[in-house]
A and B are shown apart, each in its own frame.
Chain A
Amino acid sequence: MSGTPEREGTLADGWELVVGLEVHVELSTATKLFCGCANRFGDEPNTNVCPVCLGLPGSLPVVNAAAVDFAMRLGRALGCEVRPAVFARKNYFYPDMPKDYQISQYDQPTNTDGCLELPDGHVVGIERAHIEEDTGKTTHVGTGGRIHDADYALVDYNRAGVPLVEIVSRPDIRTAEQARTYVRELRAILLAIGVSDARMEEGSMRVDANVSVRPVGSNELRTRCEIKNLSSLRSLGRAIAFEADRHVDLWSGGERPRQETRHWDEAQGRTTPGRSKEDAEDYRYFQDPDLVPLAPSADQVAAIDAALPVLPAARRAGLLAAGVGAVSAEESALLVERDQDALVRAAVEVGADPGLTATRVCNDLAVDDWSKVTPDGLAALIGLETSGQITATQAKQVLAEMVEAGDDPAAIAERRGFQAMAGDDLAATVDQVIAGNPEEWQRFCSGDDAARKKLSGFFIGQVMRATRGQADGGAVNRLLRGRAELF
């Protein structure tokens, strides 16, 4: 068994993967869910704590209005119904939980029944998206550094009480790749509506996967395992693939998986069973008597809808409609995520080549502040490049300078002495290089496509050397093919 990415798409014949995801997202409010302590990552331990988030006797929670607003915003962005909701206590003991119960929403969550459409059109149902508080952070300290052989543990409550939304999907995901796409799309939505920074590596977005398999054609839901400790999209995909194979093997061998929580071990590339608990889980949920219900009005929901930005899916569709459909799904997702889609569309509108504009922005505009790059400037740059006046390499350098200074690209190119060689000069240089390498030229003219491709690289390299990089590779290639009468 192995869960390598290469194998993710394939499951043994006759089996279908059934995955539902539970994604915890930290909301980027200024304060915690129930108190005025700063909601901030990376501070000194136990410096953002107060009687409420430490669960001191006598303290009482008061809900952060912004957290509720963020949660409802997310709900509406996922097409959920926003409902009257109550906070409930989930009772269990754990040192990182100051009250030894977690305030969450149980049978009456804020958001229910939404969906998320993946870029390929596949729709994943959203069962619920509810508000709850985060726990503190435990560090296991000991010789081995592993939980099992720790000498003691340290608890920092800075994170305790940070607002979370848990988004629970329906088991509508059928491949590991879909699972990753779902998370990526969810992240794009979170960023677009500005409610979370959604960083998996920092833990502000945490993904658990419920995995089961079933025979193709069946609608049953078989025993599932919940996989935790998925700290990257790569882990998510690998873990699902591994777990699915494990289930298929078990069922095929006449066994059945146990319903349990399993952990993804990134180094070993496998899931391992969690420790079984002494008692069956019994969280004794009940309505939190310290808090009162949330009853969002129709007006409140309408105001949230009105304020929602255009969501990533619609923005990608906008790119497509603007003729940027030639670029990959990944590029268009990236442009939307980086909020650069409007720039690209505007540049295309004033005449820039769609595909090249998208590629140039995706690859060479991965900077925090690109405010000095205007659509007109970008279109002018792309124009210089498509007309062969500057090379791709030069275009990247000009763009970098545009980010800094915001000048006109033609002016920058001129100042730096960039210009692709004029056509006649270039043709002369190409002829010199052909004359200097008769054997290679012979093989170029008579060889097959593969050989020719290899040799064109050789010739372009020679021309570049002769022109000190001023030549445009595409133009050289065109000249070579013309000389060889290959048209």
Chain B
Amino acid sequence: MTALGVAAAVASGERTARSVAEDYLERISEGDGGIGAFNLVLAEQALADADRVDAALGRGEPVGPLAGVPVALKDNLCTRGIPTTCSSRMLEGWRPPYSATVVDRLRAVGAVIVGKTNLDEFAMGSSTENSAFGPTRNPHDTSRVPGGSSGGSAAAVAAGFAALALGSDTGGSIRQPAALCGVVGMKPTYGRVSRYGLVAFASSLDQIGPFGATVADAAACYEAIAGHDPLDSTSIDQPPEPVGDALTDGVEGLRVGVVAELCGGGRQEAHRNGTNGSPASGVEGVAGDVLSRVQDAAGALEQAGAEVRTVSVPSAVLGLSAYYLIAPAEASSNLARYDGVRYGLRVDAANAAEMNVNTRTAGFGAEVKRRIMLGTYALSAGYYDAFYGKALRARTLMLQEFAAVYEDVDVLLCPTAPTTAFELGAKTSDPLLMYLNDVCTIPSNLTGHPAISVPFGSGDDGLPVGVQVMGPALSERLIFRVAAALERTAPGDGSTP
């Protein structure tokens, strides 16, 4: 059942919130052993929350739009009194004394939190293999990764362990696992959803967003969490537009641009041939079957009355490089606070500085350390201008070029991820190869624009493919609408493993 179906059944009295919660908890206890979507299942709390919903309904009180809907939270969202680990040894056992704004908002509309989901440690990764507590597996094929870093949330929705889930997206960490798990995943405009209580990876890129089995579910979840928060200085201080009522509007007359550079074109080859820095025609590594589905999706939109054309955003190919300077730079600073003094892990030593070193060396995994090293280097004296300073300017260039393209088209279309879900271990030995997973999703993080991944058929291996719809800042209503149109025309059904 969809999240909206659950909400309707609970609101109408057809189901009790408790029975719904029990169903989902049972599915988790039966199925999660083979998936590993959850770091923590909150059975007791979920049942108590469900009982509260039922009691309110029994008294005839109004309940929120997600009353009784089981929701999973990525384990980098703070939950008061409940362990929040970021899948890191560093925060094992940490119980925050406060909850993230999004958590409060979900509970305010009646959602029932069923658990905290696995992620790449501190959200750094694209496969959920960088978790200190073991990987999450793809429900469609457990030899494959679910994508990352919000792999646990994507897998939880795909496996029916939760009707909705929240993830965080810094370079594609919602959309890429959504694509690999065959669910809908959406990254709102930067500032549209409060980051208060989201453990920071890269503050200028991080954004919380929803996972749902359907576009309508994701839209309902987005509506519950969007809006201004005075606790987040970067929060947009204007009321969000509703999106749910636009889903059936169709795409007649909309102008859709397929981004040539994000549909491949072999930058890697030119690069490896020693032509460093020369303008590459497109991003590297986009697989043929994925590209075919994007073309199918473009065709489907055209069929539905949209005007589709190919557009060019040359600087989009700079995204990956810029991202892997900016995100680690911010991360190196954001993760300095894990020093063994106030919370979390401490590995003692004879003096405080050595204690810091021992703690951080023991508490962080390899990928986190790698990014801290990269970011520390990028910010350090002597290299700032050459790398970080230039990456910030590449970001400006991208903003300018996307703004120009949005003069001509309403939304953009491209792959979400370059390939379908890959085997566990396939990319763990080559960090750069792993980073290439984010090549199509990164531009929206650098520009702060919203983007959504919607399942659209499957690849040659039968695994789900996601296509990505991107729009300008605050165009959530529009991209949900286009995603809904794609969902209606999607071939087959990759959403139920």
Contact = CB atoms under 8 A, between A and B. Distances in A.
Nearest to A281: B381
Interface stretch (A96-104, A171-179, A180-188): A96-104
A288 B195 CA distance: 15
Contact of A55 (B96, B100, B337, B352): B337
A60 interface: yes
B198 A58 contact: yes
A158 to B, nearest CB: 14
B336 A57 contact: no
Interface in A408-464: none
A93 B353 contact: yes
A100 B337 contact: yes
Interface string A285-308: 110111110000000000000000
Contact of A62 (B78, B230, B332): B230
Nearest to A157: B342
A153 B352 contact: yes
A30 interface: no
Interface residues of B, number: 44
B404 to A, nearest CB: 25
Interface stretch (B231-239, B257-265, B295-303, B307-315): B231-239
B336 A51 contact: no
Given A153-B352, A284-B333, A58 B196 contact: yes
Given A91-B333, A101-B336, A290-B203, A59 B196 contact: yes
A100 B231 CA distance: 21
Contact of A284 (B230, B232, B233, B380): B380
A73 interface: no
Contact of A98 (B231, B333, B342, B388): B342
Contact of B337 (A61, A98, A155): A98
Nearest to B376: A284
Nearest to B341: A95
B3 interface: no
Contact of A95 (B196, B232, B332, B339): B339
A100 B98 contact: no
B204 A289 contact: yes
Contacts of A286: 329-330, 333, 379, 384, 388
B84 A91 contact: no
B343 A56 contact: yes
A63 B233 contact: yes
B97 interface: yes
A58 B78 contact: yes
A89 interface: yes
A99 B232 CA distance: 17
Interface in B336-367: 336-337, 339, 341-343, 352-353, 356
Contacts of B341: 95, 155
Contacts of A63: 233
Interface in A226-269: none
A56 B96 contact: yes
A459 B380 CA distance: 79
Contacts of B100: 58
A292 B236 CA distance: 12
Given A286-B329, A289-B203, A290-B203, A93 B356 contact: yes
Interface string A44-79: 000000010011111111110000000000000000
Given A51-B96, A54-B342, A98-B342, A62 B336 contact: no
Nearest to B198: A58
Contacts of A220: none
A98 B344 CA distance: 13
B183 interface: no
A60 B232 contact: yes
Given A62-B231, A282-B380, A101 B333 contact: yes
B78 A60 contact: no
Given A51-B98, A57-B96, A286-B388, A93 B200 contact: no
Interface in B45-96: 76-78, 84, 86, 91, 94, 96
A153 B376 CA distance: 28
Contacts of B98: 51, 56, 58-59
B199 interface: yes
A289 B330 contact: yes
A89 B384 CA distance: 14
A99 B338 CA distance: 8
B455 interface: no
A57 B353 contact: no
Contacts of B230: 62
Given A57-B94, A57-B337, A59-B196, 18 more contacts: A55-B342, A57-B96, A58-B77, A58-B98, A58-B197, A60-B195, A61-B233, A63-B233, A91-B333, A91-B336, A99-B337, A282-B380, A284-B333, A284-B384, A286-B384, A289-B204, A289-B234, A291-B233
Interface of A: 51, 54-63, 89, 91, 93, 95, 98-101, 153, 155, 282, 284-286, 288-292
10 contacts: A55-B337, A55-B342, A56-B342, A58-B84, A91-B333, A91-B379, A93-B336, A93-B353, A100-B336, A289-B204
Interface of B: 76-78, 84, 86, 91, 94, 96-98, 100, 195-200, 202-204, 230-234, 329-330, 332-333, 336-337, 339, 341-343, 352-353, 356, 376, 379-381, 384, 388
